[in-house]
């Protein structure tokens, strides 16, 4: 996250503090910093032997190509998932103490649910999550990698190269490495600790994450889990002259829409004014001209982050003043949204990701299909997003005398039609986890112990995680990476890599969190 400059042309008179609610100061949206929390032993995990072992464990996991692809079978027992047998065998061989001490059960074949039984059955369990699968490497891009994508090459500067290093085998191996150390130390958790590892998160998690969540919900009941931690596009980074550990308290919604334009084919020597591909281009232009509103207010976790930056960081005084002026927020939100890094927190994103149409240069395309992926912002719903899409493209359909079949309104029309349908799972934005109370204090206090220069601040996850299936199990779901975010590069793309120091800090975090959970109680326990 880059520092935010004060918008040009600002006038102090535009922000009148009298417009504040008298009920509470706006700085209340920035949580008080908990004391660093350290219970029991510390494990620095930074000796030469520790570093070598951490690398070898991570490298072995990266070598195994646990890729998942769109369109894979719904049956998890299909041979296309057999690489996960190999991966599980690797985990068993690499972490013998964990597998001797902690119960492992299989959920829908390849979902791995570890239950480390606590000494006090009255306490609600903790769930630590990761997924085993990785996005595929496009064969056409393999030559672009500095080091082969499954080599797990460790370079002289400490970078480990390979698919899955950042997303998210470092976390999975980090959790098990911490547990292996704790077992060797004779640690006994007070409350039960669950490790829940899905195997198809990269293809929406309906076989793995969904099945695991269902088992946990049935076993422990609604809100029967004290807290859940999963991946996030947030970690420890510097902004506004200060180091912040950003913890994702919510997650944007998810929906993918297929758009198909069907028109008569024919010879390219006698084309219509606009081919199906040309019409599709008009539709794309209309969609991108209607991106949806920006909102910056206290309902958005990003607002709390900015409040913390104003409170603890070196934020420009004019920007801080505008943050504390409710009437200034609409214009300020629009200005901040000009930065793509910030826009993802302030509006629903729309990404046209797949287009297919035409089969020969001298034949008119009969059908053109496309996929558009939406990540629904916290203040909108799926229906609002779909309604905006329909409104944007209706004039294009009318201008070209085409029927718009919007999600089943005209299913019988087969020609000269624009057809919309959703594909894959649909999720609404996640409920926002409170940034006060015992659960946040455990998570944040552990971060403060390991990153003593950091201010722990609310943030949000802008991508989909397997926590989408767990909303019924806990009101306290956190999404973040316990590492310096500059040490994780190349999510889902060429030259994905993680610095070994980021992997080590991940191990240390989960080790310390489990130790800190002893003696920790939540409200109502």
Is there a contact between 458 and 125 (Cβ–Cβ < 8 Å)? no
On whether the CB atoms of residues 280 and 370 are closer than 8 A, the answer is yes
DSSP letters, 73-124, are -S-TTSGGGTHHHHHHHHHHHH-HHHHHHSEEEEETTTEEEEEE--S-TTSP
Q: In what order do the strands lie in the sheet with 488-489?
A: 153-154, 159-161, 497-499, 488-489
Q: How far from 307 is each of 209, 447, 449, CA to CA, in Å?
A: 34, 20, 23
Residues at the annotated binding site for Zn(2+)?
131, 167, 202, 230, 492
What is the C-alpha radius of gyration for the chain, rounded to an integer number of angstroms?
A: 25
Among candidate residues 88, 133, 321, 496, the one labeled active-site is: 133
CA–CA distance, 447 with 457 (Å, rounded to integer): 11
DSSP 299: T
Helix (H/G/I), strand (E/B), else coil: 513: helix
The distance of Cα 452 from the centroid of its chain, to the nearest Å, equals 25
Element (H, E) at 354: strand 349-357
The answer for residues whose C-beta is within 8 angstroms of residue 254's C-beta and 6 or more apart is 204, 373, 374, 375, 376, 425, 426, 427, 464, 468
Strand-pair category, 111-116 with 193-198? antiparallel
Q: What is the C-alpha separation between 147 and 72, in angstroms, rounded? A: 28
CA distance 267 to 202: 41
Distance CA 174, CA 180 (A): 10
In sequence order, the β-bridge partners of residue 257 are 372, 422
Which residues does residue 44 pair with via DSSP β-bridges, in sequence order? none
* Cβ–Cβ < 8 Å for 23, 29: no
β 193-198/126-131 pair status? parallel
Rounded Cα distance between 58 and 502, Å, is 12
Active-site annotation holds for 366: no
Report how far residue 45's alpha carbon sits from residue 52's, in angstroms, rounded to the nearest whole number: 10
> Strands 455-461 and 242-251, how do they pair?
parallel
Whether 75 is catalytic is no
Whether the ω angle into residue 187 lies within 30 degrees of 0, i.e. cis, is no
Sign of CA dihedral 16, 21, 24, 30: negative
Catalytic residue among 180, 201, 321, 405: 201
Whether the Cβ atoms of residue 456 and residue 424 lie closer than 8 Å to each other = no
Catalytic residues: 133, 201
């Amino acid at each position: 996250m880059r520092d935010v400059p004060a918008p040009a042309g600002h006038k102090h008179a535009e922000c009148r503090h009298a417009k504040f609610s008298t009920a509470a100061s706006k700085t209340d949206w920035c949580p008080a910093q908990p004391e660093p929390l350290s219970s029991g032993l510390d494990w620095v995990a930074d000796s030469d032997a520790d570093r070598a072992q951490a690398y070898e464990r991570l490298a072995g996991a990266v070598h195994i190509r646990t890729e998942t692809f769109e369109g894979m079978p719904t049956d998890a027992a299909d041979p296309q998932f057999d690489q996960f047998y190999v991966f599980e065998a690797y985990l068993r061989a690499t972490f013998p103490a964990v597998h001797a001490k902690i119960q492992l059960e299989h959920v829908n074949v390849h979902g791995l649910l570890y239950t480390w039984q606590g000494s006090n059955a009255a306490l609600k369990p903790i769930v630590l999550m990761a997924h085993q699968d990785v996005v595929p490497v496009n064969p056409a891009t393999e030559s672009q990698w500095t080091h082969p994508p499954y080599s797990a090459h460790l370079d002289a500067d400490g970078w480990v190269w390979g698919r899955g290093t950042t997303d998210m085998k470092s976390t999975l191996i980090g959790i098990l490495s911490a547990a292996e150390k704790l077992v060797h130390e004779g640690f006994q958790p007070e409350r039960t600790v669950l490790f829940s590892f899905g195997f198809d998160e990269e293809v929406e998690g309906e076989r793995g994450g969904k099945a695991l969540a269902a088992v946990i919900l049935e076993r422990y009941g609604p809100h029967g889990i004290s807290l859940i931690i999963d991946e996030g596009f947030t970690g420890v980074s510097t902004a506004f002259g200060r180091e912040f550990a950003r913890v994702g308290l919510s997650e944007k919604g998810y929906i993918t829409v297929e758009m198909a334009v069907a028109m008569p084919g024919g010879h390219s020597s006698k084309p219509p004014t606009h081919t199906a591909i040309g019409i599709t281009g008009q539709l794309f232009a209309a969609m991108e001209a209607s991106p949806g509103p920006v909102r910056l207010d206290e309902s958005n976790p990003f607002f709390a982050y900015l409040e913390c930056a104003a409170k603890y960081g070196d934020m420009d005084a004019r920007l801080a003043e505008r943050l504390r002026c409710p009437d200034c927020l609409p214009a300020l939100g629009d200005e901040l949204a000009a930065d793509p890094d910030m826009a993802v927190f302030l509006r629903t994103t729309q990404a046209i990701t797949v287009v297919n149409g035409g089969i020969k240069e001298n034949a008119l395309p009969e059908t053109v299909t496309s996929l558009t992926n939406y990540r629904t912002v916290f203040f909108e719903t799926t229906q609002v997003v779909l309604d905006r899409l329909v409104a944007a493209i209706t004039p294009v359909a009318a201008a070209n005398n085409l029927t718009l079949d919007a999600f089943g309104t005209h299913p019988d029309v087969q020609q000269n039609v624009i057809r919309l349908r959703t594909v894959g799972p649909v999720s609404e934005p996640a409920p926002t986890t409170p940034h006060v109370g015992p659960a946040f204090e455990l998570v944040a206090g552990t971060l403060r112990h390991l990153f003593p220069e950091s201010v722990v601040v609310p943030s949000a996850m802008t991508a989909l995680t397997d926590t989408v299936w767990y909303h019924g199990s806990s009101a306290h779901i956190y999404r973040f990476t316990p590492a310096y975010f500059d040490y994780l590069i190349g999510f889902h793309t060429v030259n994905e890599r993680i610095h070994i120091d980021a992997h080590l800090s991940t191990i240390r975090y989960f080790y310390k969190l489990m130790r800190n959970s002893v003696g920790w109680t939540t409200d109502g326990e």
